[in-house]
Amino acid sequence: MWRVGIDVGGTFTDLYAVDSGTGAACTGKVLTTPQNRVLGVISAISQAGLSPEDIDLLVHGTTTGTNALIERSFPPAAMITTEGFRDVLEIGRMHREHLYRPYQTKPEPLIRRRNRFVLEERVNARGAVEIPVDPVELEPIIDVLRKRDIQSVAVCLINSYANPANEKAVAELLRKALPDISITMSSDVKPVFREHSRFSTTAVRAVLLPVMATYFERLEIALREKGFKGRLMILKSNGGMMSVEQARTRVEELVESGPAGGIGYASRISDMTGQTKIIHTDVGGTSFDTSVVEDGQGLITREYEIEFDIPVAVPMLDIRSVGAGGGSIGWIDEGGSLRVGPMSAGSEPGPACYGRGGNCPTVTDANLVLGRLSSDLSGKFRLDVDAARQAVGTIAEQLGISIEDCAEGMVRIATEAMAQAVKIVLASRGRDPRDYALASFGGAGPMHACAVASALQTPKVIVPHYSGVASAHGATYLNLKHDEEMFYFTVLSEAALDQVAKQFEQLKARASTALLDQGAANRDVSISHVMRMRYAGQTFEVDVSVPERTITAKELGAIAEAFHQTHKQEFGVRSEDFPIEIVALGVTAEAPIVDAAENSAAPVPEGQGDPSERDVYFAGDWSKALVYGPNTILPGQAIAGPAVVEDAHSCIILPPGWTARADDFRNIIMEEQA
């Protein structure tokens, strides 16, 4: 039986599959079908030569939820909140995205103001109900919801993290009156303080519930019609997976579902190479994604924003994305300067060279003009060089430069955007890029990896064997993963440790049950505990790992020191002058979904033939570059740039001054010569 990972991106849908018995592997890459992404999933399975009835496990990463949020392509939802808090989604955190841009505007709220309603109820910060919910006050709101055909309602009452009684009362009344709509309570989504992040995250769940329900229904029907009888699992933003049944309700955890598989592959690369610090990068047709992996684990954030001041405050891999991919469009701004992205040609119509009706110059067109891509795209389909030159020529003429120089300029601008995205991730987490290796994934990633590494002064680039389908590959061996958290506020030195232990047990029981309900074996479940902590007076926290048992008073000093060290690593400072506060407790439960023996790497077949040669444009001139086919670089073999290494789903560009070698796992390790 086959274990299959599928990643649906903006331009391509990738597939990686491994036979659980023999270790044999196969891959697939097809154009994404944006009008119905399920069609691309079925097409990828077919292209790989697989029969759905032979698939035992299918792990699916999807950008459907992310796209719906960015495009605002979801049915109208409503919010019911406490009187005086109707505009929390718009007011936000009272800060500016660009300090010196006077005419900036904030993104449109996920729920329109006309669909946000208030109740005269109140729970205080200690959890006492001061004003209970009046059912009569809710009746006219229900009438409006019914008339406007609202499909989903977010119930976001102030201080519900301390006591959800009023939220539960509202939700119960709504369910009785409107049984066909989805009800989401903020106390279920994020039972911790700070109303803006709690309300925003609840709004994300509310608007995505009908979108993802429709998508998963279509996906399951299509798979069943093709004979699929295995387990369907969905990638989560925290680097794990969950059942499709749970994914239907916890939709806010799907925002970075697609790139999450790549983090899993980066963790595997860390084990293979012994490189403990890795910058994960993934360049597809539409975007560039980057994150940091340390000691085999992706860094987690609770401050992710879909757009400026629209947070999704659940534990997520700290992934940053910019509009810089193969389909990113080159254009000239009002000042006459060359720009690239964030607009993308996507899969429809795609780059001009695809011959699907596109006529805008893209990064893929530029690479084809420069000779860095083969005109047959490694055998997938024929690229139109003349169409690419014509498209790039439209802006080269306006700039008064050659087509080749314009194409190289486009590539350099896209590469710099990628490097800047990496710098933002590293700087925000207090990391130095010179301490890391850059792991390059995606069909277009290895084409730009050396240039990105040079801009970052990163000494080493790693291109794994399945880099072109990395997220799909990584999806096949991620664990089931579930997070739970609870508000708990106190000064660390004054913590009631018996109460802390009791709350951790409650969280542990909920998280373990969630995994067991998804098919995990009790013996395989592991639990990790964290305290979210800060210096008194701060408005942000860091997660500090604590023992998975009852904490004693003697251990508080060690926990305080762990907090100081974590704060120093993240922000560059520590202080003994301020009390340390706990603001929340959290647990993460994990369990493998397949046996460790099934995760062994399949043997890589050797390629055939000597390298060929073609002209490639570097630094303003054409150079003769050796072109190596798939798997033709043997373990231990070294090559020097300029060179091109092509395989079925990606292309490595080795510029002059760089060398590359293959390790025992057929990963390509590239380094710039001093």
Q: DSSP for 278-315?
A: EEEEEE-SS-EEEEEEETTEE-EES--EEETTEE--S-
**What does R_g of the chain's alpha carbons equal in angstroms?**
26
Token duo for residue 549: 């048992």
Question: What residues form DSSP beta bridges with 61?
Answer: 7
**Alpha carbon distances (Å) from 223 to 214, 229, 230, 533, 623:** 14, 8, 10, 45, 49
How far is 192 from 623, CA to CA, in rounded Å?
Answer: 59
Nearest to 512 by CA among 586, 584, 588: 588
Q: Which residues pair with 301 in a beta bridge?
A: 316
In the chain (674 residues long), the average pLDDT of successive 10-residue segments reads 90 90 89 89 94 95 87 94 96 85 89 97 96 97 96 97 97 96 96 95 97 95 95 94 95 88 89 92 86 90 88 90 87 93 84 90 95 79 91 95 96 93 87 93 91 93 91 91 95 95 96 94 94 94 93 95 94 93 96 66 61 92 91 88 87 94 91 86
Question: What pLDDT was estimated at residue 43?
Answer: 95
Asked whether the CA dihedral 212, 262, 422, 546 is positive or negative, the reply is: positive
Residues near 139 by beta carbon (within 8 Å), at least 6 away in sequence: none
**SS3 state of residue 30:** strand
C-alpha–C-alpha distance, residues 167 and 154, integer Å: 10
Whether omega before 446 lies within 30 degrees of 0, making that bond cis, reads: no
> Two tokens at 674?
């001093």
Residue 648: its pLDDT value, please?
A: 77
For position 380, what pLDDT does the model report?
66
SS3 519: coil
Which residue in 287, 295, 241, 234 sits closest to 267, CA to CA?
295
pLDDT at 347: 74
- Both ends of the chain: CA-CA distance in Å? 49
Binning the chain into helix, strand and coil, the percentages to the nearest 5 are: 35, 30, 35
pLDDT given at position 294:
92
Contacts of 106 (CB under 8 A, 6+ apart): 90, 92, 97, 308, 309
DSSP 627: E
HEC secondary structure over 318-372: CCEEECCCCCEEEEECCCCCEEEEEEECCCCCCCHHHCCCCCCCEHHHHHHHCCC
CA 661 to chain CA mean position, Å: 30
Q: Are 192 and 531 in contact (CB under 8 A)?
A: no
> Residue 608: what pLDDT?
58
CA angle 138–139–144, rounded 5-degree value: 100
Neighbours of 457 (CB within 10 A): 10
Residue 574 main-chain phi, psi, to 5 deg:
-140, 160
Tell me the C-alpha to C-alpha distance, in Å, between residue 131 and each of 134, 159, 170, 173, 183. 9, 12, 13, 17, 22
pTM for this prediction: 0.89
Q: Which residue has the tokens 């069909």?
A: 443
Task: Confirm if 182 and 209 have CB atoms less than 8 A apart.
Answer: yes
Helix (H, G, I), strand (E, B) or coil at 526: strand
CA separation for the pair 117, 80 (Å, rounded): 5
Three-state DSSP state, 672: strand
pLDDT for the residue numbered 555:
94
| pLDDT (0 to 100) of residue 571 | 87
Sign of CA dihedral 615, 617, 621, 625: negative
β-partners of residue 612 are 627
- Domains assigned to the chain: 73-206 (3.40.1360), 328-416 (no CATH), 480-591 (3.30.1490)
